[in-house]
Amino acid sequence: MLLLPQDGVKSAVNVSTATASVELSSPYAVAEIGRKGNVEQLTSSEAEVRERYPTLLSLQPPAPQRYTLNFQPGTSDLTPESMAGLDAILAAARARSGGEIVIVGHTDRQGAADDNDALSLRRADAIRDVLVARGFKADLIDAVGRGEREPVVPTDDDVPEPRNRRADIIVR
């Protein structure tokens, strides 16, 4: 058993037999199971994995592409610069065999948290609507809102921060 890196996400797997167990929690950790059910934890490297499993690695999908679009204050209207970035997102999604898009809307900390939750979802849905209007399949787009929970720039309540008024777009 070999644990590969997961695109910036921490992961782990537990390898167990009737007589032993080990958790693999770092990239390139390896568990080898002996004839008597013993489990030995080893460490490999990216270079070793590439040499040993070239065919398997060639089958992996490409890493997701990430984009950030920004909004006008208190609205689901993209800034002009961000509106211009939609073509690149569409091109990237159409170039992939899966071509799925995940849109995560965010807000700054101005206003009530409930209102920001609703606004962040409206922002994600607004981008989704534009992409669908430009011919992208609606069933390949997920739109969610996170409100003010995941700021790029942490601030106190009611402090405007344009970089937090955004949508993170993941093309996978």
- Measured in degrees and rounded to the nearest 5, phi and psi for residue 86 equal -65, -35
- Which comes out higher in pLDDT, residue 142 or 5? 142
CA distance 58 to 50: 9
Mean pLDDT of the chain: 94
Look at residue 130 and tell me whether its pLDDT is greater than 80: yes
- Which comes out higher in pLDDT, residue 10 or 115? 115
Question: Domains of the chain, with CATH numbers?
Answer: 13-58 (no CATH), 65-171 (3.30.1330.60)
pLDDT, tens only, 11-31: 899 999 999 999 999 999 999
For the chain, give the percent of residues with pLDDT over 70. 99
Q: Are strands 39-43 and 166-171 parallel, antiparallel or unpaired?
A: unpaired
Q: What is the pLDDT of residue 98?
A: 84
Q: What is the pLDDT of residue 136?
A: 97
CA distance 168 to 171: 10
